[in-house]
Amino acid sequence: MPEKLIGDRLTSLQQIAKPCHHCEGKGYIELRDCSGEIQREENCSFCSGTGKIELEDKK
């Protein structure tokens, strides 16, 4: 389990993976033109293409 230094003490942090809110867990986003046609797909910049965002749970 990863540990984080807070002040002069190490604390254990639990990682929680949730679906990315930007790409809705797909790992990529679809860029569309004004008529709604998909022009290209790109890796999501929020989750780096994984589809999940890891949050630190402080316990």
Contact 30, 43 (CB under 8 A): no
Residue-wise pLDDT tens digits, 5-53: 555 555 556 778 899 999 999 999 999 999 999 999 999 999 999 999 9
Domain containing 38 equals 3-58
Instruction: Say what the pTM is.
Output: 0.61
Query: How many structural domains are present in the chain?
Result: 1
Q: How far apart are CA 52 and CA 17, in angstroms?
A: 6
